[in-house]
Amino acid sequence: MKKIINDPADFVDEMIEGILLAHPDKVKTPGDDPRILVRADAPVAGKVGIVTGGGSGHLPLFKGYVGQGLCSGVAIGNVFSSPSSQQCFEATKAVDGGAGVLYLYGNYGGDVFNFDLAADLAELEDIETRTVLGRDDVASQPNERKLDRRGVAGIFFAYKAAGAASERGDNLDEVAAVAEDVVEHTATMGIGLAPTILPTTGALSFDLPDGEMEIGIGIHGEPGIHRGPLEPADKITERLVGALVEDLGLVDGDRVAVLVNSMGATPLEELYVMYRRVHQLLAEIGVSIERKYIGEYATSLEMAGASISLLKLDDARLALLDAPAVSPFFQEV
């Protein structure tokens, strides 16, 4: 196992320490637990706080999206493991500015369990909360069971929209409604080419023979919907985009935002090869691309592979995407 680490048991805490040392103007630790990060000016009086959380290993997801116009705080777990309910609760208290707190995170059992417990603890402290789950992975469940889907890279769009709504002064129900609306109109599909090696155990996150690909793989190596020989970039992109267009019901005249995301080991050059075909395919059916995001937005350590996310746009969603936002890993002014 070749990784640039020290003691594997210290990997997460040393990574967080590095983020804090590199970006003290953007994030801070509000108490004694280094696994809780909040934006540097938290809490912001009178504004809805937004707390996300999940396992490490996915930078810039989740901790990289804490900042102005995005999330207010994050509870951080071990690699591919949920944060504790107490950590979620402490993050809640740290960002509460008196207007309530939205929980916005991916739809995974451990995260749901612990955030639900944190909501109960927050209620005892008279902190009002709402929950919206990212659930954009179309490979994980069919459309008729979309409430059970996993949350993957498309949650970036929900962070952006909910953060903008909070900044403009929307109340808690309004911010939650904005997040839910964006989640409802977002779809993602990914492809895996090679697994990651977990730093704490040295184990592979999944097994995939040389020369094969897996369509629909999850960000923790969850099984996809198709395995077979590696195909050319255009064919892969056609598979992914076809599934997303069908799921969102896109037709001539629709507008979208596109996110082409590396899982960690796939270089930017290959993402642009994919984006080229995304652009062509959507143009062929009369769908216009209003905004595009290409790079690392939700990774799985050094997994080889990529995902494509589409957000169906209207004027309101586009305005929220265009609002200013600044975090250690994202800036749009």
Contact 134, 154 (CB under 8 A): yes
Q: 186-321, which class in CATH?
A: alpha beta
Contact 313, 257 (CB under 8 A): yes
Least confident segment among 135-139, 202-206, 296-300, 319-323: 202-206
Q: Where are the domains of the chain?
A: 8-184, 186-321
How many other CB atoms are there within 10 angstroms of residue 44's CB atom? 18
Distance between CA atoms of 120 and 130, rounded to whole angstroms? 11
Taking residues 112-122, report their average pLDDT.
98
Q: Give burial (CB, 10 Å; 0-12/13-18/19+) of 168.
A: middle
pLDDT band at 332 (very low <50, low <70, confident <90, very high): confident
Q: b/e map of 53-92 (b: 16 or more CB within 10 Å)?
A: bbbbbbbbbbbbbbbbbbbbbbbbbbbbbbbbbebbbbbb
Distance between CA atoms of 166 and 102, rounded to whole angstroms? 10
**Residue 226 designated active-site:** no
**Residue 185 designated active-site:** no
Per-residue pLDDT tens digits for 134-182: 999 999 999 999 999 999 999 999 999 999 999 999 999 999 999 999 9
Q: Is the dihedral of CA 68, 70, 72, 74 positive or negative?
A: negative
Cis peptide before 229 (omega within 30 of 0): no
Per-residue pLDDT tens digits for 230-274: 999 999 999 999 999 999 999 999 999 999 999 999 999 999 999
- Tell me the fold of 8-184: Rossmann fold (3.40.50)
What letter would DSSP give residue 61?
Answer: T
Residue 329 has pLDDT above 80, yes or no: yes
Residue 217 has pLDDT above 90, yes or no: yes
Q: In sequence order, which ranges of the chain are alpha helices (DSSP H)?
A: 11-22, 85-95, 109-124, 155-167, 172-184, 233-248, 268-284, 315-321
CA–CA distance from 319 to each of 167, 251, 257, 324 (Å)? 13, 22, 12, 10
Structure token digits, residue 60: 């810039």
Residue 84 has pLDDT above 70, yes or no: yes
Mean pLDDT score of the chain, rounded to an integer? 96
- Which pLDDT score, from 0 to 100, does residue 312 have? 98
- Which pLDDT score, from 0 to 100, does residue 1 have? 64
Residue 52 has pLDDT above 90, yes or no: yes
Catalytic-labelled residue, pool 23, 58, 185, 226: 58
Percentage of the chain surpassing pLDDT 90?
96
Taking residues 96-107, report their average pLDDT.
98
Contact 311, 266 (CB under 8 A): no
